[in-house]
Amino acid sequence: MTASEIVTAFEAGFITENEATEQGMVETLDDLYSRLSRERTYRSHASSRHGDLQRRHG
């Protein structure tokens, strides 16, 4: 599961805090939210890069 999926499940009450940290392989929820932030940053950069490539190569 991605950090986004884990956080969504936790915030919706489908999994407990312990399950969320276990699934995320992190020590604390703060660590999980930090990972979520990094995932979003990576996706944003990857999406931007993909758009650049499409514009260059049609």
| pLDDT computed for residue 31 by the predictor | 97
- pLDDT tens digit sequence for 16-47: 999 999 999 999 999 999 999 888 776 666 66
d(CA 27, CA 44): 26
Whole-prediction pTM: 0.68
Domain that holds residue 48: 3-57
Contact between residue 32 and residue 20 where contact means Cβ atoms under 8 Å apart: yes
| DSSP classification of residue 15 | S
- Residue indicated by tokens 């650049």: 52
Q: What local confidence, expressed as pLDDT, does residue 23 receive? A: 98
Angle subtended at Cα 45 by Cα 40 and Cα 49, rounded to the nearest 5 degrees: 145
Average pLDDT over residues 2-23: 97
Q: How many domains does the chain have?
A: 1
Please give the pLDDT value at position 40.
Answer: 79
